[in-house]
Chain A
Amino acid sequence: MMAEKLDLNTLVEDHRVHRRIYTEPQVFALEMERIFESGWVFLGHDSEVAAAGDFKQVRFGSQPAIMTRDEDGAIQVLMNRCMHRGATICQEERGNARHFRCWYHGWTYNGRGELVGLPYPGGYGKNFDRSRFSLIRAAKVANYRGLVFASLSADVEELPDYLGKARYYIDLFMDLSPQGAVEARAGTHKYGYDGNWKFQMENGVDGYHANFVHQAFFEIQGKRLGRRVMKLFNETSPLESKDLGHGHSLLDTAPRRSSPRLVSNILRGQVPAEIGDAYVQSLVARNGEARAAEILAASNVNLAVFPNLLIIGIQLRNVIPISFNRTEVFLTPTTLCGVHEAINVARLRAHEAFYGPAGGGAPDDVEMFNRCQAGLAVKGAEWLELSRGLERETVGEDGVIAAHLTDEVPQRAFYKRWREIMCGVATAARPSVTLAAAGS
């Protein structure tokens, strides 16, 4: 077996990426270590663990963990591994528990991960220190407007700083509720594909693919609604793609925020007029007319938060890497607090039309991820081209890079961050990794 030194830094350039970032197990292993086990990772929404004892299983890459609310109301993130002999201590995907018990030998932990039950303790010496056997906890757990992130490393920026300019768009998403809060308790769509996790992160903020992958959906829906949906995604579209910094990016489908038309795209025609009007008035009452228009206009943005969160439509989309060629994706739809039930029903039905394993849109995207992974087995064509719009980017006063909606600004934003983390561009040393030569 031949081995070669491969410089990760040579796999990502400013306008193209090498196929091996999708096809090499060793690159995937380093991504888990340097991205998913060393930085902020999105885990879920705090309403999923609303009451003390509520828990939900989560993952840091391939490592299983538990997000739970302790008796004091704090969200804890505990690794799902008994400190005795290694068995997982939590078996249910969701539930409510005062304690987590490992049923192999009965070791029992409380919601803060402390070892509170040790069967037949006489077998351990007098100096046995239980406190050394607390579950491993995430070094940092933070909540921004209900979004729960955690990091296994303490060496990270504070979450609001990390989110940076993405916070503005997260705020818009949450402020669609007249109480400024959403819930994520209406279930989850779960799908998977035989491809690399980055395909989904690229695609969630890709404005170029829409008129091709989703042509049939747009044409049929457009005919039904009497709208030309594809105009939004063609060359003359006024909409923009944006690099928000930190690897976060956006398809800004509502750049004209001063639009006086207080209509949510998601709700158009889906709820009785009086319910829609009352909803709009409740937003105006809380936010003022200008801000309410801004919130409603932004109800269709696609936001990517590095590394694993997409906010699209009504959903929080969690991208879960399983291996270099296998990914699972959990879409959790949100409902708005403080609105008429009909509005949340309309949101759920609108989501189902396009998303989930049987939706009219998302499965066609997933099909492309499978095709990409299969196509990247071809050697000789080593690069994936991400240069679209490179020459028409503008940089705003706030540092936000923008170009046309169909341009590959978000993908370049993602890989800029990827390269910083994977290659440590801040340091002089470029870490190398020994890769088994392909085909050996």
Chain B
Amino acid sequence: MATLSRSAVEDLLYAEALILDERRYDAWLAMLTADAIYWIPSNGPGRDPTREIAIVYDDFERLSDRVRRLESGLAHAQSPPSQTRRLIGNVTVAEAQDNAMSIGSNFLLYHLRRGRERIFAGRYEHRLRCVEGVWKIAAKKVVLVNNDEVIDNLTFIV
């Protein structure tokens, strides 16, 4: 059965975190499957996206548009860009099947823009899938602790 060890899973999550902190968005897209979903629920844990508004509910196509906009030089809410560093911990393997795994982790994300510092915290839920021998992200759900609070700007990729 093809699964990853927890340390291999952590390596993947750390690699993703570094790519996002360095804003290498094309490299991030390359980590995703073609049917990937990037989901940031609003107002709570995120139960049913067909009945709830989300802060983000992007399929791969919309995510590609998001990245193109971020890199267009015309995404004003990212001009100047967010500077971030994120720590990931408490990694747990929730489910491991052949070529598919569900991973939970906590994150703490330091954010700086225009001299204003913010801290975001939450839980990542990654769905990983092995596609032709390469482990990719098939779904990423970001449950922010403050997703029912006023958030000024969340236009970077969390």
Q: Taking CB as reference atom, which chain A residue is nearest B71? A: A216
Query: Could you say which of A194, A220, A328, A352 contacts B57, with CB atoms under 8 Å apart?
Result: A352
Known A-B contacts A187-B52, A189-B53, A356-B53; A328 and B76 likewise in contact (beta carbons under 8 Å): no
B152: contacting residue among A186, A193, A341, A352, CB under 8 A:
A193
A368 touches B69 (CB 8 A): no
A380 to B74, CA, bound (A): 30
CA of A41 to CA of B1, assembled, Å: 62
Q: Are B69 and A363 in contact (CB under 8 A)?
A: no
Interface residues of A (CB under 8 A from B): 93, 186-194, 213, 215-217, 219-221, 224, 328, 333, 341, 344-345, 348-349, 351-353, 356-358, 360, 363-364, 366-368
The chain B residue sitting closest to A328, CB to CB, is B150
Task: Determine which of B68, B75, B150 lies in contact with A191 in the assembled complex, contact meaning CB atoms within 8 Å.
Answer: B150
Cα of A216 to Cα of B72 in the assembled complex, Å = 7
Please give me the residue from chain A that is nearest to B74 by CB atom: A216
B54 CB contacts on chain A under 8 angstroms:
348, 352
> A356 with B55: in contact, given A189-B42, A190-B150, A220-B65 (CB under 8 Å)?
yes
| A187-B43, A328-B150 known; A358-B155 Cβ under 8 A | yes
Q: List, in ascending order, chain B residues with CB within 8 A of A360's CB.
A: 65-66, 69
User: Judging by beta carbons under 8 Å apart, are B65 and A364 in contact?
Assistant: no
Contacts of A213 in B (CB 8 A): 76
Q: Is the CB of A367 within 8 A of B153?
A: yes
Instruction: Count chain A CB atoms within 10 A of each CB in B53, B62, B65, B74 and give the residue with the most.
Output: B53
Inter-subunit contact A345/B69 (CB<8 Å): no
Residues of B within 8 A of A186 (CB): 51-53
Chain A to chain B contacts (Cβ below 8 Å), 7 pairs:
A188-B43, A190-B148, A191-B150, A220-B65, A333-B53, A352-B55, A360-B66
Contacts of A189 in B (CB 8 A): 42, 53, 55
User: Who on chain B is nearest to A194 by CB?
Assistant: B152
- Interface residues on chain B, size class: 20 to 34
Is B149 part of the contact surface with A, judged by Cβ < 8 Å? Answer: yes
* Complex Cα spacing A190 to B149, Å: 7
Contacts of B42 in A (CB 8 A): 187-189, 356
If A186-B51, A216-B74, A333-B53 touch, whether A191 touches B152 (CB-CB below 8 Å) is yes
**A190:B53 contact, CB within 8 angstroms:** no
- Extra 8 A-B pairs, beta carbons < 8 Å, given A189-B42, A215-B74, A341-B50: A191-B150, A220-B72, A348-B52, A348-B53, A352-B55, A356-B42, A357-B55, A357-B155
Given A192-B152, A367-B76, A367-B77, residue A358 in contact with residue B65 (CB < 8 A): no
Contact B43 A357 (CB under 8 A): no
The answer, yes or no, to whether B151 is at the interface (CB within 8 Å) is: yes
Secondary structure of the B side of the interface?
A: loop
| Distance from B121 Cβ to chain A, minimum over Cβ atoms (Å) | 16
Q: B-side interface residues toward A, CB under 8 Å? A: 40, 42-44, 49-57, 61-62, 65-66, 68-69, 72, 74-77, 79, 148-155, 158
A423 to B68 CA separation, bound complex (whole angstroms): 48
Q: Which residues of A contact B40 (CB under 8 A)?
A: 358
Task: Tell me, in angstroms, the Cα distance from A215 to B44 when the chains sit together.
Answer: 32
Of A224, A344, A367, A368, the contact of B65 (CB 8 Å cutoff): A224
- The chain B residue with its CB closest to the CB of A362 is B77
Chain A residue with minimal CB distance to B56?
A358
How far, in whole Å, are A357 and B151 apart by their CA atoms in the complex? Answer: 6
Q: Return B5 CB to nearest CB of chain A, in Å.
A: 33
Complex Cα gap A367–B152 (Å): 9
B92 CB to nearest chain A CB (Å): 26
* Contact in complex: A190, B151 (CB < 8 Å): yes
A353 touches B152 (CB 8 A): no
The 8 closest A-B pairs by CB, nearest first: A363-B77, A216-B74, A216-B72, A358-B154, A357-B151, A357-B154, A187-B53, A364-B76
In the assembled complex, the Cα of A215 lies from the Cα of B52 at a distance in Å of 28
Q: Is the CB of B153 within 8 A of A352?
A: no
Of chain A, the residue at the smallest CB distance from B114 is A370
Within the assembled complex, what's the spacing in Å between the Cα atoms of A290 and B64? 39
B65 CB contacts on chain A under 8 angstroms:
220-221, 224, 360
CA distance A358 to B56 in the complex (A): 7
Tell me, rounded to whole Å, the shortest Cβ–Cβ distance linking B113 to chain A. Answer: 10
The docked-state distance in angstroms from the alpha carbon of A191 to that of B150 is: 5
By a CB distance below 8 angstroms, the chain B residues around A349 are 57
B142 CB → nearest A CB, Å: 10
CA distance in complex: A328, B148 (Å) = 13
Would A352 and B154 count as touching, CB distance under 8 A?
A: no
* Cα distance, A368 to B43, chains bound together (Å): 26
What residues of chain A lie closer than 8 Å to B154, measured between beta carbons?
Answer: 357-358, 363
Choose from A190, A328, A345, A357 the contact partner of B153 (Cβ within 8 Å): A357
A436 to B136, CA, bound (A): 61
- By the criterion CB–CB under 8 Å, are B53 and A366 in contact? no
Q: Once the chains bind, are B50 and A352 in contact (CB under 8 Å)?
A: no
Q: In the complex, how many angstroms separate the beta carbon of A201 from the nearest chain B beta carbon? A: 18
Contacts of A366 in B (CB 8 A): 77, 152-153
In the assembly, what is the distance between CA of A237 and CA of B17, in Å? Answer: 44
Are A352 and B151 in touch, CB under 8 angstroms?
Answer: no
- What A residues does B77 contact at CB under 8 A? 363-364, 366-367
* Shortest beta-carbon distance from B144 to chain A in Å: 10
Residues of B within 8 Å of A190, CB to CB, are 148-151
